[in-house]
């Protein structure tokens, strides 16, 4: 026995796939993203929000679909519950729709489902819910969707051309949506009925073609006309009345086919390509009196110049020779020519989509890793090139560049020791070959030679609290003078320092005044231009030792004479436009060069 249709059948796992895609996206953001942390957080929240919205929308649509198909599925289940389990798969399942609903009422009566020798027929009269019914039937049959849609139309009903075309457009659109819902073009069987008042002793058969791909209206007309001609010649020659009735029926149905080729088939052929497949066309006659003001009646009038009722002749007086009850018979012969649909399970398709998403995520991760590896190599190479381009005389700039190289070396060693992170991995890491050149560059660094400096004890030059040179200071300053004359390309910085005894402001003025006194003495010496000399008072801000002992305070009371490069000379100017006096100090707290 098949499954009872009390719940919503399982189908394509949209929600599971949404969660899978979200997990891939979040993993990429966490492990592989090259964006800043702020952007990653925004993307993370966006992925979570979109996933939740998609799950909510999908859940609501599933509920709507369940409500829309509940009645039809219960009807199918009730009709087939007593049949063997393989009937629902081995017997063709056809959804029968009617243009106005009268055709379905005559074909089904009050039954929602009919079981015939050829197929299981499911009645449906709402175009808006056709896609839900088709999808639900596919799920009920475990992935095997409806085999066809039978479109029933009593051609000689009273209706206007606008009403006819609007109904055709509505049903064609509904069939197209149903085809997209089940995942394949639904074969359409167009069954047309013509009421006839002049019958024959036998029931009117179906005339048509089915199972022919690429059915063109003109070709269909010729094929059915040939079958109608055979039907006329099969009449018994001895019974003139039967031969005449068959000839009349042939003419009636031939005109019906020609009208359908002009008014009905173009609507299906003009539907969006790939969503509707016209697989069968058939015509038959049923008992009844046609309406002369129908579009088909006007077509016949245009051909014969007679109203449809007049062209059909007077009604027979023998009811037994008419079709029983005048009911619209289901087009069973046409369905036999349509191939059954194969099983299309949702799980393999979902797994294929999940694998495609995984492959796309891997490609995105590889692209991010390649981009970040390229950025890493460009940064390392740029730091090395910047360091090598700085002249040795620019000590501070070289030290800053060397710090960047040290950071690069530490990062690459961390990757070599602890493993490459996923954002640089996937076999695309290119940092290892640069470890050796970086280590060689660091090992080859030679710190700059400290500038020549003479430190003079302030007590040997000045009395306590005074900035006037003492009489014995000349002997001390002569050594400094000789060093200055030995480096004529250097400028001279004279810096005064004091201990912390007394007011800091007073100490600052005293240190600057003592530096000025030494400068004045050197400026009076022959061979030294005054423009080479510069002074700076530091007060007690740069002690050499602690000021809490006499020895420490004595060491802090000093005058330092330092020779530094002259930055006015072109050969010492920074090649990068950033000279040392702007971006830092030379070793031991002294400026790398002086400007005038």
Interacting residues of 318 by C-beta distance below 8 A, sequence separation 6+: none
First to last CA, the chain: 104
Greater confidence, 211 or 256?
256
Band (pLDDT 50/70/90 cuts) for residue 274 is: low
**566 DSSP 8-state letter:** B
> Of 420, 426, 364, which is closest to residue 24 (Cα–Cα)?
364
Greater confidence, 589 or 5?
589
> Residue range 487-491: average pLDDT?
86
Band (pLDDT 50/70/90 cuts) for residue 385 is: very high
- What pLDDT digit, counting tens, does each position of 500-545 carry? 998 999 999 999 999 999 999 998 888 888 888 999 999 999 998 9
Residue 436 has pLDDT above 80, yes or no: yes
- What pLDDT digit, counting tens, does each position of 89-125 carry? 788 999 999 988 888 888 998 888 888 888 999 999 8
Residue 281, strand partner residues: 190, 209
Superfamily of domain 453-565: OmpA-like domain (3.30.1330.60)
**Phi and psi, residue 306, nearest 5°:** -130, 150
Greater confidence, 387 or 450?
387
Is the Cβ–Cβ distance between 171 and 270 less than 8 Å? no
Band (pLDDT 50/70/90 cuts) for residue 199 is: low
- What pLDDT digit, counting tens, does each position of 119-166 carry? 999 999 899 889 888 888 888 888 888 999 999 999 888 788 888 899
Is the Cβ–Cβ distance between 522 and 528 less than 8 Å? yes
Residue 144, strand partner residues: 343
> Of 424, 344, 379, which is closest to residue 31 (Cα–Cα)?
424
Band (pLDDT 50/70/90 cuts) for residue 72 is: confident
Interacting residues of 577 by C-beta distance below 8 A, sequence separation 6+: none
Residue identified by tokens 């179906």 is 206
Q: What CA–CA distances, in Å, run from 413 to 408, 434, 436, 508?
A: 9, 10, 11, 48
Lowest-confidence pick of 128-142, 168-182, 422-436: 128-142
Helix (H, G, I), strand (E, B) or coil at 538: strand
Greater confidence, 586 or 594?
594
Residue 57 has pLDDT above 90, yes or no: yes
State residue 42's pLDDT score: 96
Model-level pTM? 0.62
Residue 25 has pLDDT above 50, yes or no: yes
Helix (H, G, I), strand (E, B) or coil at 561: strand
The first and second tokens of residue 164, run together, are: 């006819």
> Of 412, 416, 494, 424, which is closest to residue 461 (Cα–Cα)?
494
> Of 432, 430, 427, which is closest to residue 365 (Cα–Cα)?
427
CA 155 – CA 312 distance, rounded (Å):
14
The first and second tokens of residue 321, run together, are: 């020779």
| Mean pLDDT, rounded, of the chain | 83
Secondary structure E strands in 11-108: 93-98
So where are the chain's domains? 83-344, 355-443, 453-565
Greater confidence, 365 or 136?
365
Residue 190, strand partner residues: 151, 281
Reduce the secondary structure of 144-207 to three states and give it as a string: ECCCEEEEEEECCCCCCHHHHHHHHHHHHHHHHHHHHHHCCCEEEEEEEEEEECCCCCCCCCCE
> Of 193, 231, 4, which is closest to residue 107 (Cα–Cα)?
193
The first and second tokens of residue 114, run together, are: 């009919």
Residue 23 has pLDDT above 80, yes or no: yes
CA 401 – CA 410 distance, rounded (Å):
15
Is the Cβ–Cβ distance between 147 and 258 less than 8 Å? no
State residue 568's pLDDT score: 58
> Residue range 561-565: average pLDDT?
86
Residue 221's CB is within 10 A of a number of other CB atoms, namely: 18
Cα dihedral 494, 497, 502, 505 sign: positive
The first and second tokens of residue 241, run together, are: 């009345």
């Amino acid at each position: 026995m098949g499954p009872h249709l009390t719940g919503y059948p399982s189908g394509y796992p949209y929600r599971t796939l949404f969660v899978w895609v979200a997990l891939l996206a979040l993993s990429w953001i966490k492990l592989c993203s090259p964006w800043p942390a702020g952007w990653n957080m925004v993307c993370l929240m966006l992925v979570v929000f979109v996933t939740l919205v998609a799950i909510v929308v999908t859940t609501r649509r599933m509920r709507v679909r369940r409500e829309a198909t509940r009645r039809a599925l219960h009807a199918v289940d009730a009709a087939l519950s007593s049949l063997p389990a393989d009937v629902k798969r081995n017997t063709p399942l056809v959804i029968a729709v009617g243009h106005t609903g009268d055709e379905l009422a005559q074909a089904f009566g009050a039954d929602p489902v009919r079981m015939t020798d050829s197929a299981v027929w499911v009645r449906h009269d709402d175009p808006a819910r056709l896609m839900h019914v088709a999808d639900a039937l596919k799920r009920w049959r475990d992935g095997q969707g409806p085999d066809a849609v039978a479109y029933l139309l009593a051609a000689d009903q009273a209706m206007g051309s606008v009403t006819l075309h609007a109904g055709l457009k509505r049903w064609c659109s509904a069939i197209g949506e149903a085809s997209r819902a089940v995942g394949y073009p639904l074969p359409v069987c167009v069954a047309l009925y013509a009421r006839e008042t002049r019958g024959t002793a036998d029931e009117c058969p179906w005339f048509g073609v089915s199972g022919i791909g690429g059915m063109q209206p003109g070709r269909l007309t010729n094929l059915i006309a040939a079958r109608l001609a055979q039907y006329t010649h099969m009449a018994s020659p001895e019974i003139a009345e039967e031969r005449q009735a068959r000839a009349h029926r042939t003419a009636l149905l031939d005109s019906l086919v020609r009208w359908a080729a002009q008014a009905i088939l173009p609507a299906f052929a003009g539907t969006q390509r790939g969503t509707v497949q016209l697989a069968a066309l058939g015509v038959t006659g049923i008992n009844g009196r046609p309406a002369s003001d129908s579009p088909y009646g006007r077509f016949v009038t245009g051909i014969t110049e007679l109203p449809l009722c007049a062209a059909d002749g007077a009604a027979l007086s023998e009811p037994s020779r008419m079709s029983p009850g005048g009911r619209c018979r289901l087009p069973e012969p046409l369905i036999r020519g349509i191939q059954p649909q194969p099983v299309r399970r949702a799980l393999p398709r979902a797994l294929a989509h999940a694998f495609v998403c995984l492959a796309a995520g891997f490609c995105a991760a590889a692209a991010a890793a390649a981009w970040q590896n390229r950025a890493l190599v460009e940064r390392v190479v740029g730091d090395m090139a910047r360091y090598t381009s700085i002249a040795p005389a620019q000590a501070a700039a070289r030290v800053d560049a060397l710090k960047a190289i040290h950071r690069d070396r530490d990062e690459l060693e961390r990757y070599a020791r602890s493993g490459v992170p996923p954002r640089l991995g996937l076999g695309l890491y290119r940092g290892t070959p640069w470890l050796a050149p970086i280590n060689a560059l660091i090992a080859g660094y030679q710190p700059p030679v400290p500038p020549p400096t003479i430190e003079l004890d302030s007590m040997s030059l000045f009395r306590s609290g005074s900035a006037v040179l003492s009489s014995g200071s000349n002997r001390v300053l002569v050594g400094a003078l000789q060093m200055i004359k030995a480096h004529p390309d250097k400028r001279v910085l004279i810096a005064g320092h004091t201990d912390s005894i007394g007011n800091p402001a007073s100490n600052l003025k005293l240190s600057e005044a003592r530096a000025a006194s030494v400068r004045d003495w050197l400026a009076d010496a022959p061979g030294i231009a005054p423009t080479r000399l510069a002074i700076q008072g530091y007060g007690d801000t740069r002690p050499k030792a602690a000021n809490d002992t006499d020895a420490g305070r004595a060491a802090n009371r000093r005058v330092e004479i330092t020779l530094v490069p002259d930055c006015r000379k072109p050969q010492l100017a920074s090649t990068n436009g950033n000279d040392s006096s702007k971006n830092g100090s030379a070793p031991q707290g002294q400026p790398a060069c002086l400007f005038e």
